Amino acid sequence: MTGQIRQLYVYPIKGLSAQPLESVTLEAGRGVPHDRELALARPEGRYVPGQTSPLPKDQFFMLARDARLAGLTTTFDPGTSVLRVAVRGHEVLEADVSSADGAAEVTAFFARVLDRPAGSAPLLASAAGRRFTDVSVVSDAMMNAISLINLDSVRDLEDRIGVPVDPLRFRANVYFEGLPPFSELDLVGQELRIGDLRLRAVLNTKRCAATEVDPIAAVRDIPVPRHLVDQYGHAELGFYAEVVNGGTIRPGDVISYGDAS
């Protein structure tokens, strides 16, 4: 069967804005470059600066618990380490997170956004070779998996519950269409092809409370996990895949599996 890629995204900072990509080059065993390489750690949590052992997502500020983060439009340039933050189209922060002063400016800003008590600002988390993905706690291989969403599954959910569902609620790297709704949940163990790129589906994605947050309005308005269970008997939508053979992909590329070529 075949489908078509519609959008590609990277999320440089866990819990913050999706950044669209015109193309992405993937390497075997590696995730989307710069995806979730930074995070805002909870100062009362278990994160220690520089640590390389994975931590569960509740150790970080993220949409499942901190819906107001969706009210920020963030852009991070990995080449310059500059983070820009806008609110309703107005830039409110520009800082170089690689400098001590810039990192302090960033954490102070988010302390205000998150209404943190004095002395409990978030910690800017990073570690060479690590990604703060939700599934990093499973294994290093899963840490480097990419996430995919079948847009036809999102549309089917919309039709059943009678309200629009923004696909960006699901914070995937690759959005595609053209496959039957929820047929992707049967792909685990199978290989998918996008040009020269080869992926292997490894895990279906169980949706969490982050999907309840409208990525534009920054309010918790649709109980997506509950709707999934009510409509389909499970809370899964989308899947993770590991890169078996590298290549460059773009919106418009054909994605196929099985006997299709």
Of the three residues 131, 159, 183, the one that is the final residue of a domain is 131
Based on the fold, state whether residues 140 and 102 are members of the same structural domain.
no
* 81: CB partners within 8 A, 6+ apart: 96, 97, 98, 102
Q: Is the dihedral of CA 89, 210, 19, 234 positive or negative?
A: negative
Based on the fold, state whether residues 145 and 222 are members of the same structural domain.
yes
End-to-end alpha-carbon separation of the chain, Å? 8
3-state secondary structure of 252: coil
Along the 261 residues of the chain, how does pLDDT read in single tens digits? Answer: 999 999 999 999 999 999 999 999 999 999 999 999 999 999 999 999 988 899 999 999 999 999 999 999 999 999 999 999 999 999 999 999 999 999 999 999 999 999 999 999 999 999 989 999 999 999 999 999 999 999 999 999 999 999 999 999 999 999 999 999 999 999 999 999 999 999 999 999 999 999 999 999 999 999 999 999 999 999 999 999 999 999 999 999 999 998 754
Based on the fold, state whether residues 20 and 88 are members of the same structural domain.
no
Based on the fold, state whether residues 121 and 95 are members of the same structural domain.
yes
Based on the fold, state whether residues 104 and 183 are members of the same structural domain.
no
Q: CB burial class (10 A; 0-12, 13-18, 19+) of residue 16?
A: buried
Instruction: At 33, list the tokens.
Output: 């470059």
Based on the fold, state whether residues 157 and 221 are members of the same structural domain.
yes
Based on the fold, state whether residues 153 and 115 are members of the same structural domain.
no
- The pTM (predicted TM-score) of the whole model is 0.95
Q: Which domain holds residue 95?
A: 39-131
Task: Specify the DSSP element, H or E, that contains 100.
Answer: helix 100-113
Based on the fold, state whether residues 115 and 170 are members of the same structural domain.
no
Q: Considering its fold, how many domains does the chain have in total?
A: 2
Based on the fold, state whether residues 160 and 253 are members of the same structural domain.
yes
Based on the fold, state whether residues 163 and 253 are members of the same structural domain.
yes
Based on the fold, state whether residues 119 and 141 are members of the same structural domain.
no
